[in-house]
Amino acid sequence: MNAPRVGVLALQGDVREHAQALTDLGADVRLVRRPEDLAAVHGLVLPGGESSVIDKLSRAFGMQQPIREAIAAGMPMYGTCAGLILLADRITDGIDGQQTFGGLDVTVQRNAFGGQVESFETDLDIPELGEEPVHAVFIRAPIVEHVGAEATSLAALTDGRVVAVQQGALLGTSFHPEMTGERRFHRHFLDLVRAA
């Protein structure tokens, strides 16, 4: 599989940036809005945006159950920011009735750093991606409050708060590599797609 066929969930959020990052790495990228779109790809990116809105739209478009089934069947998925919240099994401060797709054995706190004005950038050491630090941009970002037995922390801030996790073919980051030209997480995701 030379050019892995991957989707970006295109209901809301920074869809274009992820599609560009994956295209830059040679992937065949499809925008996923309906169950038949999901059935045509081998991996899915859940972009940053507003997790509660993406949750509602996924149900309105009949996507929640197909995504949950794809996760259960082992489809690789990568969630950034809101996407990480959507992949978490548990959220501590979801809005009333908010649901997730689940799959990552983690507990996530939404908007852990406050509003837009509390956005920040920092460099993270992520040995799995090589020696060079990853420049990470946090925008109304969540944090992983608890990493369960099934999941693994890939990166944490200097205060120990976890901001990147992996569990099998599922990957989640609190930050937005697609916005900084950082391609190693997308490359790692494509490796997971090829391995699946």
Write out the catalytic residue numbers: 81, 176, 178
3-state secondary structure 105-164: EEEEECCCCCCHHHCEEEEECCHHHCCCCEEEEECCCCEEEEECCCCEEEEECCCCCEEE
Number of Cβ within a 10 Å radius of residue 93: 12
Q: How open is the CA angle 89-87-126, to the nearest 5 degrees?
A: 110
